[in-house]
Amino acid sequence: MFDGIFWDNDGVLMETEHLYYQANAEALAGVGVELSLEDFCRISLRQGESVLSLAAGDHNEAELRRVRDDIYYRLLGEESRVYPGVQGTLDRLYGRLPMAIVTSCRRDNFLQMHRTSGLLGYFDFILTREDYIASKPDPEPYLTACARAGLNPGRCLAIEDSERGVTSAARAGLTVAAIPCDMNRGGDFRPARWLLDAIHELPALLNLD
């Protein structure tokens, strides 16, 4: 058994990646740029860069970001949902060991999507993008989480869905279980010890069945 479990949020607990794609696509469409799902997955999810840079030239990227962020915030309030199997899995794990969320999501967006999720009570603390300097794939988010929890990274498990997240946790010294969401399937998850099809496989992996 591990001493602690650290969870990514988007794509693991909450089904929101498609909403972020929609928000970026709508913002770019407003300035005449078509964003394909393939480009979004490559640029945003795998490389961790902004797809708004596709609107080169006279377009104000700061204004585009404001438009995108407004759309995304609205969509999170209307359409974000918990992945199937998440609450049951957290019920099984709660109270057995410390758990926290380590996300690249901004705090306002995080709180917006979790207004009615019912999940936050399962976690000892939450780290959002404002709580560290270098984002995933840098190891800082997970090192920060382990330091806050007072735990040795080598004794902790990270649950991730993306290449960047897996790399971040592995570089920090955590063991990683990857559960790729649809938009991240086909990525390079070799740094993960386990590659799972769904979250309900986790209790058996931890010998809880």
Report pLDDT digits (tens) over 73-103.
999 999 999 999 999 999 999 999 999 999 9
Q: How confident is the model at residue 181 (pLDDT cuts 50, 70, 90)?
A: confident
**Does 7 have pLDDT greater than 90?**
yes
pTM of the model: 0.93
DSSP the chain: --SEEEE--BTTTEE-HHHHHHHHHHHHHTTT----HHHHIIIIIIT---GGGGS-SS--HHHHHHHHHHHHHHHHHHH-EEPTTHHHHHHHHTTTS-EEEE-SS-HHHHHHHTTTT--GGG-SEEE-GGG-SSPTTSSHHHHHHHHHHT--GGGEEEEE-SHHHHHHHHHTT-EEEE---GGGTTS--TT-SEE-SSGGGHHHHTT--
**Does 209 have pLDDT greater than 70?**
no
Buried b (16+ CB within 10 A) or exposed e, 85-106: ebbebbeebeeebbbbbbbbbe
> What span, in angstroms and rounded, lies between the C-alpha atoms of 7 and 103?
8
Tokens, residue 56: 């080169």
Long-range contacts of 48-52 (CB under 8 A, 24+ apart): 48/135, 48/136, 48/137, 48/164, 51/24, 52/24, 52/27, 52/28
Fold of 4-14+81-205: Rossmann fold (3.40.50)
Report pLDDT digits (tens) over 41-70.
888 888 878 899 898 766 688 899 999 999
> What span, in angstroms and rounded, lies between the C-alpha atoms of 96 and 90?
10
Report pLDDT digits (tens) over 183-200.
887 778 999 999 999 999
Structural domain boundaries in the chain: 4-14+81-205, 17-79
The per-residue pLDDT for 104 is 94
Nearest to 78 by CA among 37, 41, 116: 116
The per-residue pLDDT for 184 is 82
Let me know: does 146 contact 165? Beta carbons within 8 Å.
no
**Does 5 have pLDDT greater than 80?**
yes
Report pLDDT digits (tens) over 109-165.
999 999 999 999 999 999 999 999 999 999 999 999 999 999 999 999 999 999 999
